[in-house]
Amino acid sequence: MIHIFPCLSDNYGFLLHDPISRLTASIDSPDATEIDKQCTDHGYTLTHIFNTHHHFDHVGGNLELKQKHGLTIIGPKDDEARIPGIDVTYADGDIFKFGQFDIHMIATPGHTKGHCAYYIPKLASAFVGDTLFALGCGRLFEGSAAQMFDSIGKLRALPDATKIYCAHEYTLANGAFALSVDPHNEDLQAYMETAKDLRAQGQATIPTNIAREKSANPFVRAKNALEFATLRQAKDNF
C-alpha cells in the first residue's frame, strides 16, 4: 500500500506499508515532521527509510526520524558516504525483502552519481526520485547525459503499467517544454489538459506510468544519448 503526500515546496513524500508484516518505509525523508504526521494518521510505525540519493530534500529528515524511531536506513552503495545514518546498502540489480514485497534496486546515475530507484513488481510501482519526472527528467548535477539516457532506458524497460512515483511536482513546467519540442503529439496535449485540471483542483499529477511517459515524455522518447543531451541542454535554458 502506497501513500503520497506533498512536502516542502514541491516535493512528494511517500509511505510504503505492508499490512501483513506491519513494516512501513518512507521513501526519502524530505520533511520529518510531515512524515511522522502521516504515519500517525494512518496508524503506522515507521520502520525504514529508502533513500534514492543524497540531496538534502531527500535525506534531510533521516537523522531526526532515525533518532525518534530507531529505524533502518537503506540506500545505494554508491552513495553510502553521503547519506546520513545509512545502515544497509544495495547495488544495481539487488533484490531485497520488505515484508511481502520483493524490492529491486535499480542504479540510475545521472542526476547524482549514486542515484537509485526502487521497483516493486507486486505493486507494479517504482519510486524514481529525481531521475524520471512526469513529462521530464532530473537535471544532470553529477553524471553525463549518456549515463542519464541509460538510466532512463532502464526505467523505460519496466512494464508499461508500472506506476512511476516521481519526487517532485514539476509536471506543468515540464509539459510546457515538452510541447515546445513536440507540439503535435496528441498524447502529450491530452496529458497536459488532464494535468492542468488536476493542479487546478490542488491534486497531484503523480504517479504517472511508463506507457504514458513513452508516448508523451520527450526525454523517454529520445532515440539516442546525443538527442537526449540536446534536449536536456535545451530544457536547462528553457
Give me the residues that bind Fe ion (CB under 5 A), please.
Answer: 57, 130
Q: How far is the CB of 4 from Zn ion (least distance, A)?
A: 18
The residues that touch Zn ion, with contacts defined as CB under 5 A, are 55, 130
CB atoms within 10 A of CB 189: 15
User: Which partner, Zn ion, Fe ion, none, binds residue 78 by CB below 5 to 8 Å per kind?
Assistant: none
Out of Fe ion, Zn ion, none, what residue 34 binds, judged by CB under 5 to 8 A for its kind, is none
**For the chain, how big is the Rg over CA atoms in Å?**
17
C-beta closer to Fe ion: residue 57 or 213: 57
> 34 or 57, CB closer to Fe ion?
57
Could you tell me the smallest distance in angstroms from the CB atom of residue 51 to Zn ion?
11
Strand, coil or helix: 90 = strand
79 binds, among Zn ion, Fe ion, none (CB under 5 to 8 A by kind): none
Nearer to Zn ion, 8 or 124 (CB): 8
Q: Which is nearer to Fe ion, 168 or 212 (CB)?
A: 168
Residue closer to Fe ion (CB basis): 78 or 130 = 130
**Nearest alpha-carbon partner for 13 in 45, 39, 47, 43:** 39
- Give helix 171-181 / helix 186-200 axis angle, nearest 10°: 160
We find the least distance from the C-beta atom of residue 77 to Zn ion, in angstroms, to be: 18
Least CB distance to Fe ion at residue 29 (A): 12
Residue 27 CB, shortest distance to Zn ion, in Å, is 13
Q: With the CA atoms of 122, 53, 24 and 45 taken in that order, what torsion angle do they form, in degrees rounded to the nearest 10?
A: -170
- DSSP characters over 8-72: TTTEEEEEEE-TTT--EEEES-S-HHHHHHHHHHHT----EEE-S---HHHHTTHHHHHHHH--E
Distance of closest approach, residue 173 Cβ to Fe ion, in angstroms: 14
**Separation of alpha carbons 95 and 113, rounded Å:** 20
Own/partner pairs, 187-195, CB within 8 angstroms, 24+ separation:
187/212, 187/215, 187/216, 188/135, 188/215, 188/216, 191/135, 191/216, 192/135, 195/134, 195/135, 195/171
- Residue 60 vs 207, nearer CB to Zn ion: 60
